[in-house]
Amino acid sequence: MQTHEMIGATWDTSEHICTSYLSDLEDADLMQRPHADCNHLNWQVGHLILSEHNILSAYAPDRVPPLPEGFAETYGKENAQSDDPAAFLSKDALIEAFRVQRDGAKALLADCSGADFDADAPESIRSFAPTVGAMMSMLGSHWLMHCGQWVIVRRMLEKPIVI
């Protein structure tokens, strides 16, 4: 198995887990916070999409699809405390934005060579992802870091266990 195939398989597993947890949640459910000191799920999903976009833009700015207009402002840290559903995108719009960004990420990943994976990551992320390979791998694990909180919301809403 090649490095890009291994990273892609990790992304696919992460995507399966995360989309399973989101599958039967409604827009109102995504406004739930797993704890008063945590961000609601809608903001978390937007944050993950924005993070992926920003990380890949630091690596290959000319190859990353654009985000929907106003997305960066909506899902920036300064908006994380808002509980106004009208201030955020719908679940369908978030999933569409994710799909566009992830398809762009997969195209970049497919073009990476072994030497590319060993190269230094962009300076802005090198403290937590020193190489391009580490950066690409992190795109899947970042989603998994957050989706553990989604299980708590699912339990609060008495949703069925999906995984």
Q: What is the pLDDT of residues 67-125, one digit of tens each?
A: 999 999 999 999 999 999 999 999 999 999 999 999 999 999 999 998 999 999 999 99
Per-residue tokens: 20: 């399973």
Distance CA 87, CA 162 (A): 29
pTM of the model: 0.96
Q: Place 152 in a pLDDT band, splitting at 50, 70 and 90.
A: very high
